[in-house]
C-alpha cells in the first residue's frame, strides 16, 4: 500500500512540474489542472483510508489469533500423533459440543483408526465424567454417516453390535449422532438432543 501512495505522489509531482513549466495556461487549462489535482488528492486520501482500514483488520485478526492461542493453552489439551485433544467436562447437546470445539480452535473428534480410538478411550477413563462422550459424526442423510470436520464417510468404525440402527428401524431416524463409551471405546448412535460431554480434536498443537 505504501508503494501505491508513493506512485500517486510521484504522479502529482510530475503533473505539477509539467503544468508549471508551461509558459502560459488558458483558463480552461487551469480548470482542468485543478480538477486533475483534486482527483489525485482524493485518490491519495482514499488509498490512505484503505491502508488504515486494512491495518485495523490485520490488528484485529492478530488479536483474535493471540486470544485463541491463549485459550488453547489454558485448556488441558493432550497430544497424540501430532494432533491435540480436549475432553469437555460439561454436558451439552451435539450441536453445542461442535460449536464449543470450533470456538476453542478444534472440532468434534474424527477417529481414523483403532489406535486413535483406543487412545481416546484411555483418556475418557480418566475423565472427570464417566459417561458416553460425543464424537464428530452424524448422518444428515439417514444411514450416510460422515465426519462433520471434512464430510468424509467413516473409513474406520467401532460400533456396538447392531448399531447404528439400520435405516429400516424407526430409531435410525432419531439417533443421528455418534457417542463413545469410556469403558470400552465402543460407539453408539444416539439422539443429538442428549446432553453429554464431548471430545474435541485440533490439527494444531501449541504445546
Q: Residue 65 has what pLDDT?
A: 52
Residue 66: its pLDDT value, please?
53
- Return the C-alpha cell found at 69: 492461542
What are the cell numbers at 106? Answer: 478444534
Q: Which three cell numbers stand for residue 41?
A: 488528492
Among the CATH numbers 3.30.420.40, 3.10.100.10, 3.40.50.1100, 3.30.40.230, which is that of 74-202? 3.10.100.10
Q: Is the pTM of this model over 0.85?
A: no
- pLDDT value at residue 19: 46
Closest CA to 134 of 103, 174, 107, 165: 107
pLDDT at 41: 85
pLDDT reported for residue 93: 98
Least Cα distance to 104 among 129, 127, 71 occurs for 71
Domain ranges of the chain: 1-19+29-44, 74-202
Report the relative pairing of strands 83-87 and 132-138 from DSSP bridges: unpaired
pLDDT at 54: 79
* pLDDT tens, residue order, the chain (207 aa): 555 545 555 555 554 555 445 455 577 776 777 877 788 788 888 888 887 777 777 776 665 555 555 554 556 899 999 999 999 999 999 999 999 999 999 999 999 999 999 999 999 999 989 999 999 999 999 999 999 999 999 999 999 999 999 999 999 999 999 999 999 999 999 999 999 999 999 998 865
Amino acid at each position: 500500500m505504501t508503494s501505491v501512495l508513493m506512485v500517486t505522489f510521484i504522479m502529482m509531482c510530475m503533473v505539477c512540474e509539467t503544468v508549471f513549466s508551461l509558459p502560459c495556461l488558458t483558463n480552461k487549462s487551469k480548470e482542468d489542472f485543478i480538477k486533475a489535482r483534486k482527483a489525485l488528492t482524493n485518490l491519495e486520501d482514499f488509498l490512505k483510508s484503505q491502508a488504515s482500514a486494512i491495518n485495523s483488520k490485520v490488528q484485529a485478526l492478530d488479536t483474535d489469533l493471540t486470544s485463541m492461542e491463549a485459550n488453547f493453552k489454558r485448556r488441558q489439551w493432550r497430544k497424540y500423533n501430532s494432533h491435540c485433544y480436549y475432553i469437555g467436562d460439561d454436558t451439552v447437546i451435539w450441536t453445542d459440543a461442535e460449536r464449543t470445539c470450533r470456538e476453542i480452535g478444534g472440532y468434534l473428534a474424527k477417529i481414523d483408526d483403532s489406535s486413535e480410538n483406543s487412545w481416546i478411550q484411555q483418556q475418557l477413563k480418566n475423565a472427570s465424567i464417566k459417561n458416553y462422550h460425543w464424537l464428530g459424526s452424524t448422518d444428515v442423510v439417514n444411514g450416510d454417516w460422515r465426519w462433520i470436520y471434512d464430510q468424509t464417510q467413516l473409513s474406520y468404525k467401532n460400533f456396538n453390535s447392531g448399531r447404528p440402527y439400520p435405516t429400516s428401524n424407526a430409531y435410525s431416524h432419531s439417533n443421528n449422532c455418534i457417542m463413545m463409551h469410556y469403558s470400552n471405546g465402543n460407539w453408539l448412535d444416539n439422539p443429538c438432543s442428549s446432553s453429554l460431554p464431548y471430545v474435541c480434536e485440533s490439527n494444531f498443537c501449541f504445546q
